[in-house]
Amino acid sequence: MQNEKSLTKNDWLRIFIFWGFLVFLTFIFRNNPFFWDNILLSSKYAHHFLENGYATLLVDAEIDSGHPTFFGIYLSLVWRIFGYSLPVAHFSMLPFLFLLSFYFYKIQKYFVGQSLLFLSIIFFICEPSLMAQCTMVSPEILVIGGMLMGISGLLYNKRLNIVLATLLMTSVSTRGAIMVFLLYLIGIAVYKIRDNKFDYLLILYFIPSFLLFLAWNYFHYIDTGWYIAGGNPKWADQYQIVGFTDVLKNIISIVRNLLDFGRIFLWMSIFGIAIIYHKKSKVLCSKKLKILIVIMLISLILFTLIFVFNANPIGHRYMLLWYVFGIILLLMISKGIVPSKLKKATLFVIALFVCSGNFWIYPEKIAQGWDSTMGHLAFFQLREDALEYIDKEGVASQNRVGAGFILRANSKFVDLNERNFVINDKNNGLENFEYILYSNVNNDFTDQEIEELNSKWILEKEFCNRSLCIKLFRRNNFI
């Protein structure tokens, strides 16, 4: 059994530098509004408890997606204690960012040579999806942080860490509970490969999280009549079983997520280095490499089997674990590159290519995972400029403006500001509005709707930063 190696002074120096960077990052983006699904799972949940108290753990039926509400409760308590503001919400993420970065480092220390540990931090900083989530008030940080904590517990035989990690993941979301199941199977694989035995007692450390999962869903079922997910008609269609064609589309989505936002350079580099230096790499990291590849494949195959039959889109952030695995695999494979200066220079260049994924913006008819790239950051100022224009010009009176997801969200839950106008759901029909507020950040406009806006509506005002735009279209009453 692998014993935990004490962290050295150099290790702690790297970790504190890592933490210092995350504090700086949080400070820089402290005023960023809530974004994407965090509007619901972070902001709306927290507002519910802030306004209604804690007599029940459930939220109103209108916003109940079936996920546990403990993160929303946490954020509401932070607001009660430290004040109701965006900076307080962002700084409340620091304990979980520290947890994520610490166990990222510990796992890297297990698999990767000492000389490459600082480069592993560079890769973390350059990974678009990891960094994008780190700038948000996102429960996703708790899921990936808990997963890395649990894997570290398996590798270093720290069973209490496994218990705490699985409780953390289960308390956040249904998908977090699924990741707990994957963690258990990863544990079986690790012990079988490394110690050549099946650890029958391992399951005992997963019982607390299993009981929490049962308790939450029983409590939820008693109150609402449904459990796990999909019982709310608002999201029911996202939890339907799909046919063969959509299964193929989901598989393609998984592959795309692995390659997207610069990660194609990561995987190409892994295969290239493995081919060129296969003899040296095999000698340097044979057993640990086998452990890593097996747990990567087992977890990815099971994740695919669980999610491809579901209608819910498979977001980039769902796969943060395998982006981390990819970084570890690259650093392990690179041990075969000599001399050391060539190796570090090669890895640094690869990191820059991966970082370039933050600048990838697709044509507007191609859906993009905006919450998984730093490329979304310009959206917040564009949104503010667009809403100020709408307010100043008075075009939002009498429910005249429609918009897609995010732009139609109540500002109270986005930037914590009350506005004196309402933007309605464009899904009620474009023909029912005089104005449509559109952005390529919205993935819920059909190709036909985009074509109609560009060809039949008048572009009243445009707010752009590079290829990211928000456009206000006005109906052409002469058509």
Annotated domain spans of the chain: 9-359, 378-475
Residue 439 DSSP one-character state: E
Closest CA to 414 of 386, 380, 375, 438: 380
For residue 166, give Cα distances in angstroms to 194, 237, 424: 22, 29, 40
Sequence-ordered list of residues with C-beta below 8 angstroms from that of 420, at least 6 positions apart, any chain:
391
> Can you name the residues that pair with 437 across neighbouring β-strands?
403, 472
**CA gap 270, 95 in Å, rounded:** 32
**CA gap 459, 391 in Å, rounded:** 17
Structure tokens at 255: 């592959």
Q: How many beta carbons lie within 10 A of that of residue 242, not counting itself?
A: 15
Q: What is the pLDDT of residue 5?
A: 64
Whether a cis peptide bond, with omega within 30° of 0, leads into 233 is no
Query: Distance between alpha carbon 238 and the CA centroid of its chain, in Å?
Result: 18
**CA gap 352, 203 in Å, rounded:** 41
Structure tokens at 252: 């393609």
Q: What is the pLDDT of residue 1?
A: 44
Q: What is the pLDDT of residue 287?
A: 82
Q: What is the pLDDT of residue 237?
A: 79
Structure tokens at 477: 């009453």
**Residue with tokens 């989901």, as numbered in its chain:** 250
Note down pLDDT in tens along the chain; length 479 residues.
Answer: 444 568 999 999 999 999 999 999 999 999 999 999 999 999 999 999 999 999 999 999 999 999 999 999 999 999 999 999 999 999 999 999 999 999 999 999 999 978 899 999 999 999 999 999 999 999 999 999 999 999 999 999 999 999 999 999 999 999 999 999 999 999 999 999 988 888 889 999 999 999 999 999 999 999 999 888 777 877 777 788 899 999 999 999 999 999 999 999 999 999 999 888 877 655 555 788 889 999 999 999 999 999 999 988 899 999 999 999 999 999 999 988 888 899 999 999 999 999 999 999 999 899 999 999 999 999 999 999 999 999 999 888 777 899 998 899 999 999 999 888 889 999 999 999 999 999 999 888 999 999 999 999 999 999 999 889 999 999 987 55
Inter-axis angle of helices 320-333 and 340-355, nearest 10: 160
Q: What is the pLDDT of residue 285?
A: 59
Q: What is the pLDDT of residue 336?
A: 82
> Can you name the residues that pair with 468 across neighbouring β-strands?
465
> Can you name the residues that pair with 339 across neighbouring β-strands?
none
Structure tokens at 306: 């669980």
Residue 434 DSSP one-character state: S
Sequence-ordered list of residues with C-beta below 8 angstroms from that of 168, at least 6 positions apart, any chain:
142, 145, 146, 149, 176
Q: What is the pLDDT of residue 251?
A: 96
**CA gap 282, 280 in Å, rounded:** 5
> Can you name the residues that pair with 475 across neighbouring β-strands?
457
pTM, full prediction: 0.95
CA dihedral over 135, 138, 141, 144, signed as positive or negative: negative
**CA gap 1, 170 in Å, rounded:** 27
> Can you name the residues that pair with 438 across neighbouring β-strands?
471
